[in-house]
């Protein structure tokens, strides 16, 4: 079992650079768009409150600084999610697709159950997501059951 780093796969199978080829970045899901929109609206709201505090005659410096800091943090969170949100999911899917059946079988056979098999896969392959590891274990168990069923004449 080998661990893989993003730099190991800077060129995909079609020969184009980057994880998504010549098509550009992967499309963003509805959940990412909703999160970014809500966070950006919160940042705009905090910016409006900071502006109102600034123009108010009894405005405190601390109030203006706190609302401004909140606005900056919300905008930063929205920007980070927009640009980097899907990279972890992409990496996990890539790792899952590169794992061989033998590696999954080894983790399942040396474990005491599904949870332990998923844990072993995730420890052996940093960056593999919980859902992807679980699906690999389930797929392996399903493949093994179908092979056993065919060999016993059932199916």
The pLDDT tens digits along the chain (155 residues) read 444 444 444 434 433 344 444 445 556 677 788 889 999 999 999 999 999 999 988 888 899 999 999 999 999 999 988 888 766 667 778 888 888 888 888 888 888 888 888 888 888 888 888 888 898 888 888 766 554 555 555 54
Global model pTM greater than 0.85: no
* Residue that is written with structure tokens 């980057």 in the block: 18
* Domain spans in the chain, listed from the N-terminal domain onward: 30-84, 87-151
The CA distance from 103 to 124, in Å, is 10
């Amino acid at each position: 079992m080998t661990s893989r780093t993003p730099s190991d796969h800077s060129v995909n199978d079609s020969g184009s650079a980057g994880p998504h080829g010549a098509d550009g970045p992967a499309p963003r899901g509805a959940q990412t768009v909703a999160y970014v929109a809500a966070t950006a609206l919160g940042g705009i709201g905090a910016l409006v409150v900071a502006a109102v505090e600034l123009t108010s005659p009894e405005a405190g410096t601390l109030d203006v600084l706190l609302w401004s800091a909140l606005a900056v943090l919300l905008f930063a969170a929205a920007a980070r999610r927009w640009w980097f949100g899907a990279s972890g999911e992409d990496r996990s899917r890539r790792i899952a697709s590169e794992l061989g059946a033998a590696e999954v079988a080894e983790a399942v056979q040396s474990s005491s159950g599904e949870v332990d098999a998923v844990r072993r896969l995730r420890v052996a392959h940093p960056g593999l997501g919980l859902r992807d590891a679980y699906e690999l274990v389930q797929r392996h168990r399903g493949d093994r059951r179908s092979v056993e069923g065919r060999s016993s004449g059932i199916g």
